[in-house]
Chains A and B, each alone.
Chain A
C-alpha cells in the first residue's frame, strides 16, 4: 500500500546531516571526521487540516501496512505540493522515510478530521 497522495496543509522539513564526528582540542581547534557519504536523519512533519474522515483513515491504513515505525517507504510527489523549487526529497535509492511515531488524528466535527504525520528519513 502506498502513502496517501493528498496535498498537506502544512509542511516542515529538516534535511538531516552526514554522519561525522567532531573532536575539539584544549586549544579550541576542531577536527571532524566524516564516516559516511549519505545524508541521514531527515525529518518531515506534515499536517492535513479538515480532510474527510475517509481520507484520514487512509493514513491509519498505511501506518498499519508499514507495521508502524518498522518499514520504510517512498513518498509521493504530492507531499511537495506548493514547493516551486527543485525537489528536496532525496531519491529513493539514497533515502526513504519511515514513521517516527504514530500519526495523530483530531476529529473536528462529524465527517471531518485533522491528521498530523511525523516522518524520519533513513538510508
Chain B
C-alpha cells in the first residue's frame, strides 16, 4: 500500500462559457485605434476577461476587417481587457495576461461598421498557479423511503449527485520579470475574481482536479464548475490570499488513467487542429 502526498496534485481549468453564450455588438470605424493596436465595442463590463481566447466573427459572414493580413469572416485570438474596456489581441495566453504593447497583434482600421459576434472558445486546459490547497467534495442526495412498519430507516440509493469545493491560493494577477523561466501557460488566481463577476457568459469553467499525477498514471475528477464565491484575506506582514468556492454543474467523473497528452512536432511545438486546439494523443495499449 502507498501513501500519497498532496504535492502530486494540481488543478487545471479550461475557460468556457455557458452553453453557446455570445456577445453581439457593432464594431464601428472609430472603435479601432490602429496606432495603439487597440479596439473596443459595446459590451457589458466584465463580460470578457483578460486571457480569454475569443472568437470574433462578423454576423453577415463578410470578411472581418480588424486584424492585419487576416481576410476571413472570423478569427481566434487571446484578448487583454484594460480598465476602460479596450481590447488588445495576442497570439499567446501569457502575452494576453501581461497586456504589453509590442506582442499585441497589429490592427487595421475598418472601412465600414461591422456587426460582430464575440464568443469565448478555448480548448486548452491550463494549470492553476499559486495553489496552496484545494478540496473537492461529491455527495449524493438521500431521500427517505421509510414507511410504517419499518424498524430501520430506508434511503433512496439513486438520488441526485452534486459536488462542491474550494481552492486556496496565493493571490497573483500577472507574470513578473522573474517568471521568465516558468511555463507561461499557467492560469493566475485573479481570473476567478473576474470570473465570478462575468456577465452574459456566466461564471462557468471546466475543471480537472488531480488527486495523484504521474507521467503514465493519474487520478482526477473532471466536471463543469460554477464559481460561487471569491474571497480575499488581507493582513499586514502577510501574503495576500484568495479563497475560491465553486459548485459543480452536470456530470462529475472520477477518471483513472493516462494524463491527457498531445502530439508534438519534431521541434516540440504543438500540432494544431483547424480550430487552434491541440491534437490529443490516444492512450497507449499495454
| A and B touch in their complex, CB below 8 angstroms | no
